[in-house]
Structure 1
Amino acid sequence: MAWTNPHYDRSKAHHAPEGFRNLEPDTREPGGLQRWRKERKEQGLPRPPTEGYDAFVRRWWQRADVGGTDDAAWWLGHATALVRHRGLTVLTDPVLGRRASPVPFAGPARRTPPPVDVAGLPPVDVVLISHNHYDHLDAGTVRALSRRFPQAVFLVPLGLKAWFDRRRIGNVRELDWWASTDVRGAMFTFVPARHWSARTLWDRNRSLWGGWVMAQESFRFWFAGDTGYSDKLAEIGRRAGPIDLAAIPIGAYAPRWFMRGQHVDPAEALRLHREIGCQRSIAIHWGAFELADDQLDEPPRLLGEALAEAGMETDEFMLLSIGGRIAL
């Protein structure tokens, strides 16, 4: 029997009887995945960082000091960020394992170590999940978090709660785009992104994907998750802004003919920063895993060039070291 979407709402354009969909046209070409794999093998991509992996780690990695009680934000590598504001601690897409893969012996391996492990984290109140890809939802990390912080609330996209239920992880709330929920006085709204979901060959787009806006008093934090560029995303700023701090992806964008519908490049990330009206942004989704053809050190270089071309300061769209911290 064919699978049907139990959450299907015909009044919502991103819903489909067989799952969920983007509002933008699909840019995938028939046979595109096979073509990409063939081309990257022939060209030996991705290439190592310009000065090698060891030098890259020395330049872009530090141990994370997550102590204290002051308001701050940390980038913990890839799409994992820690935000503490007014006593509430929020963790995004926690992936602290060695691989972004369903198996421990194969798949994309981490090129830079996690700057902290679950045992070293401060008490976490809210865990935000953007979608179910292995580089954003790591079963081992999530299990460790649920054991260490049983009070933590997991906020997940529509259709993903069943994954947590099967692992007997409680305190899970699943939301559709533009739905909101309150956690200890902070409002969390699930917002659109241009992406997709799958953890197997058989469950493509059966759960939703997106980003999150945290609104706590006058402070607003937007975690973009994974997204390709879309002018429709400016609605986030209009409906959920103004955004004081954002975490926006800048990596895993090459080749553009294959990746543009699912991952922004640095220039597009900066465009989203401006169109959504972010006061400050942190660059995420680079430097840990080699998921596409761009070198690990290419995204920060191209972001720097885009900022210079736009006449913007580097503290408007920040390149932190993995484990780096900013005050809020």
Structure 2
Amino acid sequence: MTQQSESTTSTTTREPDEPALPSPLAPPSPPLAEPRPLAERRVWPRTFHDRLTAPLPGLKAMARFAREGAVRPDPAGLADIPRLPYAPAPLPRVDARTIAVTWAGHASWVLRIGGLTVLTDPVWSRRILGTPARITPVGVPWEELPRVDAVVISHNHYDHLDAPTLRRLPRDTPVFVPAGLARWFHRRRFTRVTELDWWEAVELDGVRFDFVPSHHWSKRSLTDTCHSLWGGWVLTDESGQRVYFAGDTGYGHWFSRIGRRYPGIDLALLPIGAYDPRWWLRDVHCDPEEAVRAAQDLGARRMAPMHWATFVLSAEPVMEPLTRVRAAWEKAGLPRENLWDMPVGASKVL
């Protein structure tokens, strides 16, 4: 794997591309960037290929996958679908000093922070392009959502950027997206779209939204590979409470850098599914053990697994991510109460 630079535009806060070092040898992180204006219009490079942590699969890898790659679990791996954890419940009551998270399924969370209701990668559709229908229902009925104050998007893959769901939102909803993705929203008449580069931030009603790197890529059509950026989000309220939403990512050096720059993460929402076959997905999707390691690299106090139990995207048995993440958490000697392995539809309150 090759490490890429953290900036391709003159408007980005830069960080030296030094290797991650264990504390206390790690160099101090640069100060956080000043928040950028909301709904700022910006010009970006045509491609973000230089941000890839690893090259995208070439012809040889494609041919191998065609020969031996499994895209779905075998019948035994699918047999546990009725046992997948699903326990919808009313959203908890919260105030501006309380953080609450509710898992709607996959990478979709209803995040209450600083008095705001924020949706992450909202996918309320039963089916997405190229994928069988959901294997668990959405955990939160759309009509039971409070007013949505903001939406954060990690990248443009169909299981994270869902046009039918977003059409349900008022067009003046603030939307925070990776660099290069605002035009997609502008075409759909959203009026308050803010796109950010890695390590940049905006503020909304006292909550800070920082866009941070991930080990992934972007593509939505045959001709737009890596034309927009990808990443995760760190949300910080006025009291300093922090939630990290990873989006979609493989394991790698970015986690320790994020942890250094944003110390004291109270909760990390980390993906644990869609990892098999490993040789094919290792660079872009964490497996459960890597997700636990990522939580440790981040210095996060708690971890909530996501990106499993919703869509069948790869070949691992449907219940395996949960079994493995629990075992990895125990093996790491971490407090059991800090693993928020929630059913779809459940909530937790900080």
Matched to 1:163, the amino acid is W
User: Aligned pair 1:145/2:169, yes or no?
Assistant: yes
Deviation at 1:133, TM superposition (A): 0.2
Match of 1:24 in 2: 53
Contact 1:80 1:92 in 2 (8 A): yes
Q: So what's the TM-score if we normalise by structure 2?
A: 0.82
Structure 1 pair 45–51 and aligned structure 2 pair: CA distance change class (3 A): closer
Distance 1:202 1:50, change over 3 A: closer
Q: Select the residue among 23, 39, 57 that pairs with 2:68.
A: 39
CA 1:140–1:27: 2 relative to 1, 3 Å: closer
Aligned 1:137-286 pairs, distance under 5 A: 137-146=161-170, 150=172, 152-217=173-238, 218-286=240-308
Deviations 1:217-259 (A, max 9, x none): 2111100000011123211111122201110000001111010
Q: 1:167 offset after TM fit, Å?
A: 0.8
Structure 1 CA distance, aligned partners of 2:116 and 2:155?
22
Measure the CA separation in 2 of the matches of 1:31 and 1:166.
Answer: 37
- Change over 3 Å in CA distance of 1:228–1:54 after alignment to 2: closer
How far apart are the structure 1 equivalents of 2:220 and 2:279? 23
Task: From the two aligned structures, give the one with the greater strand fraction.
Answer: 1
For the aligned residues, what is the CA RMSD? Answer: 2.4
- Distance change (3 Å), C-alpha of 1:271 and 1:203: same
Q: Percent identity?
A: 41
> Secondary structure of 1:74's partner?
strand
| 1:299 alignment counterpart | 321
Counterpart in the other structure of 2:9: 9
Residue 16 of structure 1 and its aligned partner are, at CA, apart by: 6.7
Residue 4 of structure 1: aligned partner? none
Q: What corresponds to 1:93 in structure 2?
A: 121
**Unaligned 5+ residue runs, structure 1?**
1-6
1:308 aligned residue? 330
Q: 1:258 to 1:89 in 2, by over 3 A?
A: same
Aligned partner of 2:112 among 81, 84, 88: 84
Note the C-alpha offset of 1:266. 0.4
Gaps of 5+ in 2: 1-6, 18-43
More deviation, 15-24/310-319 = 15-24
Runs of 4+ in 1 over 4 A off after TM superposition: 10-17, 48-51
- 1:111 corresponds in structure 2 to 135
Superposition deviation, residue 98 in structure 1: 1.1
Q: Secondary structure at the match of 2:301?
A: strand
Corresponding residue number in structure 1 for 2:94:
69
Aligned partners of 1:77 and 1:48: how far apart in 2?
23
TM-score when scaled to structure 1?
A: 0.88
Q: Deviation per CA, 1:124-145, whole angstroms, max 9, x where unpaired?
A: 1111100000000000101102
Deviations 1:273-328 (A, max 9, x none): 00110011100000001111112111001111111211223322221000111111
Report SS of the residue matched to 1:31: helix
Equivalent position SS for 2:101: strand
For this pair of structures, how many residues does the alignment match? 311
**Preserved contact between residue 180 and residue 229 of structure 2 (Cα < 8 Å):** yes
